[in-house]
């Protein structure tokens, strides 16, 4: 498998979309409700695609089941982290350690071939993401220990579902069928938990945010659908690492649109991430 230029740019697009839907979680709505709304929106958007894509092979369904369970942990940990701290603090921590975890797990369980340049690229990108995670937001108050723990557990679930979905999509024989089935099934566990926990009355505030919720759902679906497809045509570790450039996109949005200063830490981390991308693509 080789990381071609179209796949490379497709995953970069997915990273930008991923940063966008995470920003929507911080709308004026309880993060758990916002996460449930986005998850439900993903399922509703994916459902009409199933008649077109068809169902994946039977071999894929154990992987889909495992992915739904891991994704549930991801949603719960991430929403709790966002409830306790700002996106600028949690998002980089949650995404910062994931590419290195996934690279190690990929080598252990998937055995995708990686060149020396690929490995150097993953290390550089991971270093850049970790740098901006640890030092890029010093002007903010430190998040509490529970928020940090939830963010780190989120990183573990990111690693888990990435490996599971990479293997599952390959077993399915059709990445589109796998993605459509996964999103269609994934919507319901979170919705059931939300209804049991908060009740109908507790869910009603989400009605006022249907438009941004479905916008976030569309971005989330597109971002991960692209990643699932990419993992069937390129090494999983590389795709997982490139997805984490969403942190860089978030920083660029902050500097360009929010007029935050371009600090030395942001510049160095950006250079490391770009250097990592260059190594992964060229070597």
Report which of residues 31 and 275 the model is more confident about: 275
Based on the structure, what is the number of domains in the chain?
1
- pLDDT tens, position by position, 205-262: 888 888 888 988 899 899 999 999 999 999 998 898 888 777 777 667 666 765 667 7
Predicted confidence at residue 109, as pLDDT, reads 86
Secondary structure class of 135 (helix, strand, coil): helix
pLDDT mean across residues, the chain: 84
For residue 15 the two structure tokens come to 């990273």
In this predicted structure, the answer to whether residue 117 has a pLDDT above a threshold of 80 is yes
DSSP string, 93-149: HHHHSHHHHHHHHHHHHT-----HHHHHHHHHHHHHHHHHHHHTTTTSPPPPHHHHH
Predicted confidence at residue 85, as pLDDT, reads 74
Predicted confidence at residue 141, as pLDDT, reads 54
Predicted confidence at residue 112, as pLDDT, reads 83
Q: What mean pLDDT do residues 268-279 have?
A: 83
Predicted confidence at residue 163, as pLDDT, reads 95
For residue 220 the two structure tokens come to 């989330």
| pTM, to two decimals | 0.84
Of 283, 63, 45, which is closest to residue 167 (Cα–Cα)? 63
51-55, 81-85, 279-283: range with highest mean pLDDT: 51-55
- Among the residue ranges 47-56, 101-110, 255-264, the one predicted with the least confidence is 255-264
Predicted confidence at residue 138, as pLDDT, reads 47
DSSP class of residue 234?
S
Report which of residues 1 and 29 the model is more confident about: 29
Domain enclosing residue 25, as ranges = 5-282
């Amino acid at each position: 498998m080789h990381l071609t230029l179209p796949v490379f740019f497709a995953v970069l697009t997915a990273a930008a979309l991923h940063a966008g839907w995470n920003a929507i979680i911080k709308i004026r709505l309880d993060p758990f409700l916002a996460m449930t709304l986005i998850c439900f929106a993903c399922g509703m958007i994916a459902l009409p695609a199933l008649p077109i894509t068809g169902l994946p092979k039977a071999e894929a369904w154990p992987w889909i089941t495992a992915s739904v369970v891991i994704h549930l942990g991801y949603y719960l940990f991430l929403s709790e982290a966002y409830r306790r701290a700002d996106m600028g603090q949690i998002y980089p921590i949650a995404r910062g350690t994931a590419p290195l975890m996934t690279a190690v797990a990929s080598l252990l369980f998937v055995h995708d071939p990686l060149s020396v340049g690929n490995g150097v690229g993953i290390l550089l990108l991971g270093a850049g993401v970790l740098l901006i995670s640890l030092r890029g937001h010093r002007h903010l108050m430190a998040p509490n220990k529970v928020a940090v723990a939830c963010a780190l557990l989120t990183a573990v679930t990111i690693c888990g579902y990435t490996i599971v979905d990479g293997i599952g999509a390959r077993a399915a024989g059709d990445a589109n069928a796998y993605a459509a089935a996964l999103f269609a099934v994934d919507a319901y566990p979170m919705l059931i938990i939300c209804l049991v926990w908060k009740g109908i009355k507790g869910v009603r505030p989400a009605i006022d945010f249907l438009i941004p919720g479905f916008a976030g759902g569309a971005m989330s679906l597109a971002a991960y659908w692209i990643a699932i497809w990419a993992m069937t045509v390129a090494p999983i570790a590389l795709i997982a690492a490139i997805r984490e450039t969403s942190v860089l996109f978030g920083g660029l949005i902050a500097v360009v649109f929010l007029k935050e200063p371009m600090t030395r830490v942001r510049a160095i981390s950006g250079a490391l991430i770009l250097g990592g991308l260059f190594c992964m693509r060229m070597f």
